Structure 1
Amino acid sequence: MEQLYQCQTLPEVREQIDRIDRALVALIAERSIYVRQAAAFKHSRDEVEGGKRADQVMRRVERLAGELGADAALTAAVYRTMIEYFVADEMAVFRLRQQPRID
């Protein structure tokens, strides 16, 4: 991890937290774009639900949490929530693709 800025005041701490929040939200937005793109490559409901892939992601982020000094339980909870949401979102996109077109 990069050298952290040593804050001298509470407003400085809040400024850093706000900066991080902006970056996190931007990354979540970017991740959602790729999740929606993934739906185009999947041909079955099982592929969309992707239990095996979700397990791989969870193992990877738990390992990363340890390497980067993040709280493992918090990281796992955040990712479980994101994965649950993204699978539901991807499923909605997948279902729309499966509907017959009426022209």
Structure 2
Amino acid sequence: MHFSAIEDVRKHIDQIDIELVKIITQRAECVKAAARFKTDHSAVRAPDRVQQVIDKVRATASTTGLPEVIIEKTYRAMIDAFIDYEIEQHDGLQQDKN
């Protein structure tokens, strides 16, 4: 990519951010759906699954030229936020059952 001004770069970043939010929203919908299948908070945290996701995105990053550390830090932060969200969803479902 070639940009002639910082404003062009920022505009492009803004467009990417809009797309990222849309995709993260789709991920949130999946997380919400997954909460229905989890039996407890331990199942929500699923450290083995977290590591599988990290390993996959690191491998993908390496094929695109993105430093693996950037994607790992990004995904760990995102996964932590989604775990909190999924626990809230799971707890809400449990209350509905009672």
TM (norm. structure 1) is 0.84
Partner of residue 17 from structure 2, selected from 10, 18, 21: 21
Percent identity between the aligned chains?
A: 31
Q: Corresponding residue for 1:58?
A: 54
Partner Cα distance (2:72, 2:60) in 1: 11
1:80 counterpart = 2:76: yes
Larger Rg: 1
Give the Å deviation of 1:56: 0.3
1:99 counterpart = 2:98: no
TM (norm. structure 2) is 0.87
Stretches of structure 1 lacking an aligned partner (at least 5 in a row): none
Stretches (4+) displaced over 4 A: none
RMSD: 1.7
Q: Deviations over 1:25-55 (max 9, x none)?
A: 1111111111111101112322211111101
Stretches of structure 2 lacking an aligned partner (at least 5 in a row): none
